[in-house]
Amino acid sequence: MPTVHLMTHHRPFTGGEAIVEVDGATVGAVIDALEERYPGLGEMIRAGSSAGIDGEVHAEPEYVPVSPDTVIYFLAPLAGG
Amino acid sequence: MTATEHPPAYKYVGTRPIRHDGYDKVIGKARFAADLNLPGQLHGAIHRSPHAHAKILSIDTSAAEAMPGVKVVVTGDDFPALDPKNPNFDLAANIIARGVAYYHGHAIAAVAANTKPEAQAAAAAIKVEYELLPAVLSIDESMADGAPLVNETNHTKFVPPGEPSNLSTITNLDRGDVDDALAAADVVIEREFDCAHVHQGYIEPHACVVDTGPDGKTSVWCSSQGHFRVRSMTADVLGWDKSRVKVTPAEIGGGFGGKTTVYLEPLAARLSEKAGKPVKMVMSREEVLRATGPAPEAKMKIKIGATNDGELTAIDGWMAYGVGAFGDMAGLIGAMSVASYKFPNLRMETYTALTNTPKSAAYRAPSAPHAAFAIESVVDEVALELGMDPIELRLKNAAVEGDLTAMGMPHPRVGLVECLEALKASDHYNSEVPEGAARGVAVGFWFNIGEESSATVNLNEDGTATVLTGSPDIGGSRASMALMAAERLGIDVYSITPVVADTEAVGFTDVTEGSRATFATGKAVVQACDMIIDELKKRAASIMSVDVDQVAWVDGAAVSAGHGGGEGGEPLTLAAITAQAKRTGGPLTATASLNAAGAGPSFAVHCADISVDEETGVVSVLRYTAVQDAGTAIHPSYVEGQFQGGSVQGIGWALNEEYIYNADGVMDNASFLDYRIPVASDLPLIETIIVEVPNPAHPYGVRGVGETGIVPPMATIANAINAATGVRMTSLPMSPPKLLSALNKRSK
């Protein structure tokens, strides 16, 4: 299953767990699985997030395919000046 | 100079052609937004709040409307109330007040008249009745128990839903056990810091011309960092479909993040719609300073622990950013930018606080300069305490691939070590510090981003190419796009015409921010070139009467056995193929669009020699070197220009620049006479060293260079001042009065 790393403000939903494993073939499916397991977490992630997926940062990664070995870091949205 | 370990053999990438837009800019032919005029246009002016926080009881526009030349007046009532969940909700409220003025200078009403003086006179004649509300003017006031609300529509993000609040974000980042690590550390240094609001200081004030036709279609000509964002923001604020708005980019006279948003365009569009004529609006410098977005102010506490042999074992940070009267995530982004050192134990407690001051906007590497000023100052103190060379301490702890950033994600391949080594080997670092002077160094980091970009490549009959992109040319991107296309296609860079196309002539392209244009739009250009090379090979195969898989593209020509790829015959050049385009299938064109992943983070290391006049507190910068990892420098001159520009802006931030508010929340220094940015005579030539650790996610290794250069200068200068005087300056700017005061306290 893909491994998901959560930022600190996500962790109240998981009882403090920083790293969880959930199933899904895309990042969106992973977020759906997180929402099902931890109600409210998926909504917070979708409210504005980029994600580091196997070392590359993606903006709005909903449909990025993932495999059981994929490591996902949900991040705050990144912008710049 | 460039420090590249293994330079690839590029023909065009890495060269320094004269920029394609250079001629027009040198002779004054380039058209900026304020240069544009349409027949029959009106001129707009804005009535702004004289109060930092006030309820608007009534607006009487009758006298203004009766004045000579006045055609139309609009107020907040002329704009739709957006859903609070709309991402542009705050933007809309900032563009024109709806019932409450949130800061001095907040737009209350706008006028269009035949002439600018008539519009200004009418704007001044608008009568507004206010009920004053308590103004919150500092981070401390904002975060105090029982503080008055700055903005009743603000709710704190990243926490369970609650009542309106002065905090836009509360976030914590952590790993390891900071308390244990600090308790076990041999050396612990703790300092508190603060930074004032500063402005991007772009030379060109905001300006636009907007024409809303009788069919409702609106054309906008304006200066911005991203005309597709101007389109979406303008349409959202007006409640229109985006397709109603066409935005044509004018040349831009500096943005640095401050032109990633809009202030005038929706007002001008509504005025134009109501008047039935084009409307031109141009801000004064005073309006730019009073009513557009500065970088946030900040307060920080940083504690760092280290072992006697120089291992940084823990960082414990508290950071609060003051972002003006509307929500932002500056605090979180500031904490996320803590990425330069390994720090096995880390805790960053962050807040983003609202105040009754102008809505903050992005400024090069937003939030990172504040954090770096604090952290790099404390790291310098650790080096002093341990008696270590500041570069050696940083090399010992420098983040490399796989090390964790504060946000938890490991770094990809990054070039901090290479930057530190390049400075260590530099002429500057190996030179004697001039007599009476002192030296400081510091490190900076910025993420860089990808996002959406499009590019179209059209090959012309004569073998030249036109490259259309949607990224405004802020720092030489036309030349960079042309160089990448030249490299890919194998034709001369001057055979390529790079065009910044309007919102109806090129695919969607995100705003130029996050140092993304050369990375993401460049990637789209390369993809479009690859697509057109595939088509060129097909056409060549047809002409050569061979299978396409027998054709290769080599140095701007198709080669195959018997055609430059073996015995006899000449290669088919690009020009030879385009000359036969009609016979082989028609025009040659290709478009690529993408959402670019894999932006390469960038590190910088700066070094300054300074002297301090201890009688006046004036700091003179004698020598300054900026080292930065560009990934690959597509056009080294413009890469160096970015390093130099960031350094100069950072030096201004370090030494002079600040918003000075009086007790009523009125900015007291709203002009370039009193808001002092550095000019050429203030500084030496900024020396540059380009480090090239290619980003594997870009075909030529680009990381993006526009922002990181502003991150290290404040700590670089502070560390040099400390070396010169023994005084640790913890408050920006380190202006002569502040430094003199600190020196006097030291003397006592």
Percent of chain B with pLDDT over 90: 95
Interval A46-75 mean pLDDT? 90
Candidates A18, A47, A80; nearest CB to B362: A80
* pLDDT surpassing 80 at residue B4: no
**pTM score, whole prediction:** 0.96
Chain B nearest-CA residue for A75: B407
As a dihedral over the C-alpha atoms of residue A62, residue A66, residue A71, residue A73, rounded to 10 degrees, the angle is 0
pLDDT band at B268 (very low <50, low <70, confident <90, very high): very high
Q: How many residues does chain B have?
A: 748
- Domain residues of chain A, as ranges? 12-68
Beta-strand relationship, B245-249 and A50-53? unpaired
Long-range pairs for B614-618: beta carbons < 8 A, 24 or more residues apart = B614/B725, B614/B743, B616/B736, B616/B740, B617/B735, B617/B736, B617/B737, B617/B738, B617/B739, B617/B740, B617/B741, B617/B743, B618/B736
Q: CB distance A56–B329 less than 8 Å?
A: no
Lowest-confidence range among A42-56, B534-548, B649-663?
A: A42-56
CATH of domain B412-448+602-747: 3.30.365.10
Mean per-residue pLDDT, B163-185? 96
Q: Which chain A residues are closer than 8 Å to B172 by Cβ?
A: 8-9
pLDDT in tens, B366-396: 999 999 999 999 999 999 999 999 999 999 9
Structure-model confidence comparison of residues B68 and B7, the more confident one:
B68
Q: What is the pLDDT of residue B563?
A: 87
- Judged by CB atoms closer than 8 Å, whether chains meet at B171 and A8 is answered as yes
DSSP string, B516-550: -IIIIIHHHHHHHHHHHHHHHHHHHHHHHTS-GGG
Q: What is the pLDDT of residue B649?
A: 98
Chain B neighbors of A4, CB-CB under 8 A = none
What percentage of chain A has pLDDT greater than the value 90? 72
Q: In which band, very low, low, confident or very high, does the pLDDT at B6 lie, cut at 50, 70 and 90?
A: low
SS3 assignment, position B734: coil
B173–A44: do the CB atoms touch at under 8 Å? no
Q: Where in chain B is the domain with CATH 3.30.365.10?
A: 412-448+602-747, 450-596
pLDDT in tens, B286-307: 999 999 999 999 999 999 999 9
Residue B1's pLDDT band, with cuts at 50, 70 and 90, is low
Contact at CB, A81 and B410, closer than 8 angstroms: no
| Mean pLDDT, residues B582-602 taken together | 96
- Per-residue pLDDT, B748: 66
> Quick check: A9 and B172 CB within 8 A?
yes
Length of chain A: 81
Chain B: nearest CA to A6, how far in angstroms? Answer: 8
- B513 and chain A in contact, CB less than 8 A: yes
Q: Do B410 and A55 touch (CB under 8 A)?
A: yes
| Nearest to B705, CA basis, from B448, B512, B335, B396 | B448
Predicted local confidence at residue B2, as pLDDT: 61
**Residue (of B358, B354, B201) closest to B293 by Cα position:** B358
Contact assignment for A56 to B697 by CB distance below 8 Å: yes
pLDDT the model gives residue B568: 75
The band of B501, judged by pLDDT with boundaries at 50, 70 and 90, is: very high
Residues A81 and B511: their CA atoms lie apart, in Å, by 10
**DSSP state, residue B56:** E
Q: Picking from A24-33, B2-11, B153-162, B477-486, which range would have the lowest pLDDT averaged per residue?
A: B2-11
Helical spans, DSSP H, in B547-611: 574-578, 581-584
Q: Given the structure tokens 């396409």, which residue do they identify? A: B548
Residue B604 Cα distances to B431, B601, B684, B710, angstroms? 20, 10, 19, 9
- What mean pLDDT is predicted for residues A28-51? 92
At residue B564 the predicted structure's pLDDT band, cuts being 50, 70 and 90, is confident
CA distance B121 to B479: 44
| pLDDT value at residue B583 | 96
State how far the alpha carbon of B715 is from the alpha carbons of A57, A66, B8, B437, B741, in Å: 28, 41, 34, 17, 19
Q: Which segments of B121-195 are extended strands (E)?
A: 127-132, 167-175, 187-195
Interface test with A, best of B89, B157, B158, B653 (most A CBs within 10 A): B158
Answer yes or no: do B257 and A80 touch at CB < 8 A. Answer: yes
User: What is the spatial distance between Cα B246 and Cα B506, in angstroms, rounded to a whole number?
Assistant: 12
Distance from CA of A39 to the nearest CA of B (A): 12
- Candidates 2.60.40.3140, 3.30.365.10, 3.40.50.720, 3.30.420.270; correct CATH number of B450-596? 3.30.365.10
**Average of pLDDT values for A17-39?**
96
In percent, the amount of chain B with pLDDT more than 70 equals 99
Q: Do B366 and A60 touch (CB under 8 A)?
A: no
Nearest to B152 by CA among B139, B136, B141, B140: B136
Sign of CA dihedral B632, B635, B640, B641: negative
Contact flag B599-A57 (C-beta cutoff 8 Å): yes
Q: How far does A72 lie from chain B, in Å, by closest CA? A: 9
Give CA separation, B566 vs B533, B536, B544, B557, B570, in Å: 21, 19, 13, 14, 9
* Residues in contact with B220: Cβ distance below 8 Å, sequence separation at least 6, in sequence order: B208, B209, B210, B227, B230, B231, B234, B245, B246, B247, B248, B265, B268, B269
Find the CB nearest A8 among B172, B366, B447: B172
Integer Cα distance of B86 and A52 in angstroms: 26
What is the full DSSP assignment across B274-289? Answer: HHTS-EEEE--HHHHH
Burial class of residue B17 in the structure, from the number of CB atoms within 10 Å of its CB (0-12 exposed, 13-18 middle, 19+ buried)? middle
Q: Which residues contact A41 (CB under 8 A, 6 or more apart)?
A: A6, A10, A13, A14, A34, A35
Residue B410 touches chain A, beta carbons under 8 Å: yes
Q: What is the ipTM of this complex?
A: 0.92
The Cα angle at residue A54 between residues A51 and A60, in degrees rounded to 5: 25
Is residue B310 within 8 A of residue B317, CB to CB? The reply is: no
Query: Which chain A residues contact residue B366 at CB under 8 A?
Result: 79-81
- Nearest chain B residue to A55 by CA distance is B412
B603 close to A (CB below 8 A) = no
Size of interface A-B (CB pairs under 8 A): 97
What are the phi and psi torsion angles at B130 (to 5°)? -115, 150
What residues of A are in the B interface, CB distance below 8 Å? 5, 7-9, 18, 44, 47, 52-53, 55-60, 64, 73, 75-81
Tell me if B226 sits within 8 A of B513, measured CB to CB.
Answer: yes
Q: What is the mean pLDDT of residues A37-49?
A: 88
Q: Which residues in A lie closer than 8 A to residue B174 (C-beta atoms)? A: 8
- The overall average pLDDT reported for chain B is 96
Peptide bond into B164 cis (omega under 30): no
What is the C-alpha to C-alpha distance for residues B366 and A79, in angstroms, rounded to an integer? Answer: 8
Q: How close, in Å, is residue A40 to chain B by CA atoms?
A: 10
For B319, the token pair is: 């950071």
Q: Is B474 exposed, middle or buried (0-12, 13-18, 19+ CB in 10 A)?
A: buried
pLDDT at B566 over 80: no
| SS3 call for B602 | strand
d(CA B381, CA B524): 45
